Amino acid sequence: MMFIDPHAHMISRTTDDYEAMAASGVVAVIEPAFWLGQPRTNAGSYLDYLSSIVGFERFRASQFGIRHYCTIGLNSKEANNEALAEAVMELIPRFALKEGVVAIGEIGYDEQTALEDKYFRLQLELAKELDLPVMIHTPHRDKKNGTSRSMDVCVEHGLDPGKVVVDHNNEETVREVLDRGFWAGFSIYPSTKMGNARMVEILRQYGANRVIVDSACDWGISEVLAVAKTARLALQTGIPEDQVRLACYQNALEAYGQSGQMKEEDWLNPQAIDQRAVYEGNSILRGGREPVVGQTPNRRGMDNLIIE
């Protein structure tokens, strides 16, 4: 079974994680631009970060047989530093048009301040202008109101809910998001967001239409195999296979495929892995390590549902 992890901060993960993801059936990941655990003090850091997610990280993933896409945006936490935010907003349009960028995101609210609101709206306008999908980060505190408000603002700016993924949902927010026609993302992240047993219950109760499962894995305690493990648990507990496929693969492809930057052929007809390839003259093979060449990743068919 093939999976997409549509929310994974791979720059904070290891090559071991890429290998494990590929082995579990993950064929593509989407890396949303976000906060780094510390506030950036200047736009120069932002520029290098955006360059790394559209370039070096994409290259690093390809060396393990995984297609890497990203979203570009100013996150809500750093929107509160106005000088930084202004400078970053200058950078965003040119990065948003690069190859492999599938949405504007993750944008939205953190503490629901006036500055967060300002830059959220500016970026929604940009998404509309560039005709790109949007990935919304919903706040951890006051989640229910923050989620409703995020959708209100999208509607106010005339965005099509079918092009907006509202992420980090839980039992409290799922109904409204689905009822209003948005895509509903769920981050299976230990301790703080959602466990996968709860996720399976949501699938049972609401079905998988417009539901998207992701890991949101990053530099914190998180699980790169969250999508594959959720799929397996769902299958084991009797969720129909077509529903699992929607939530763990197809819906992400439908939602972000609207960018025109993400197609199934990208991984169905992959190039063989060639670690001799270089990125701007630089290899991932530090210190003369041996390249792995020509080992086409093992794509598991639908007949082999159990991930071991």
**84 vs 296: CA distance, rounded Å:** 43
Q: What is the three-class DSSP state of 167?
A: strand
Nearest to 208 by CA among 233, 180, 241, 163: 241
Count residues contacting another protein (CB under 8 A)? Answer: 39
- Rule CB under 8 A: is residue 294 a binding residue for another protein? no
Q: What is the dihedral of CA 249, 255, 261, 267, to 10 degrees?
A: 10
Of residues 158, 238, 260, 287, which one binds another protein by CB under 8 A? 287
**292 vs 283: CA distance, rounded Å:** 12
Q: What is the dihedral of CA 56, 57, 62, 64, to 10 degrees?
A: 120
Which span sits near another protein by CB under 8 A: 5-13, 71-79, 108-116, 230-238?
5-13
Of residues 7, 40, 163, 210, which one binds another protein by CB under 8 A? 40
Q: What does the DSSP 8-state code read for residue 75? A: -
The residue among 42 and 209 lying less far from another protein, judged by its C-beta, is 42
Q: What is the three-class DSSP state of 21?
A: helix
- Rule CB under 8 A: is residue 206 a binding residue for another protein? no
Q: How far is the CB of 283 from another protein (least distance, A)?
A: 8
What does the block give as tokens for 135?
């990935």
- Cβ proximity of 235 and 198 under 8 Å: no
- Rule CB under 8 A: is residue 9 a binding residue for another protein? no
Q: How far is the CB of 9 from another protein (least distance, A)?
A: 11
- Rule CB under 8 A: is residue 36 a binding residue for another protein? yes
Q: What does the DSSP 8-state code read for residue 194? A: B
Which span sits near another protein by CB under 8 A: 55-63, 163-171, 174-182, 191-199?
55-63
Q: How far is the CB of 203 from another protein (least distance, A)?
A: 27
Please give the radius of gyration of the chain, using alpha carbons only, rounded to the nearest integer.
18
The residue among 132 and 226 lying less far from another protein, judged by its C-beta, is 226
- Rule CB under 8 A: is residue 99 a binding residue for another protein? no
- Rule CB under 8 A: is residue 169 a binding residue for another protein? no
**164 vs 141: CA distance, rounded Å:** 21
**101 vs 117: CA distance, rounded Å:** 23
Of residues 35, 55, 243, 264, which one binds another protein by CB under 8 A? 55
Nearest to 275 by CA among 18, 10, 2: 18
The residue among 38 and 298 lying less far from another protein, judged by its C-beta, is 38
Of residues 5, 17, 106, 167, which one binds another protein by CB under 8 A? 17
Which span sits near another protein by CB under 8 A: 44-52, 93-101, 107-115, 176-184?
44-52
Of residues 42, 192, 236, 271, which one binds another protein by CB under 8 A? 42
Binding site for another protein (CB under 8 A): 11-17, 36-38, 40-45, 47-48, 51-52, 55-56, 60, 219-222, 279-290
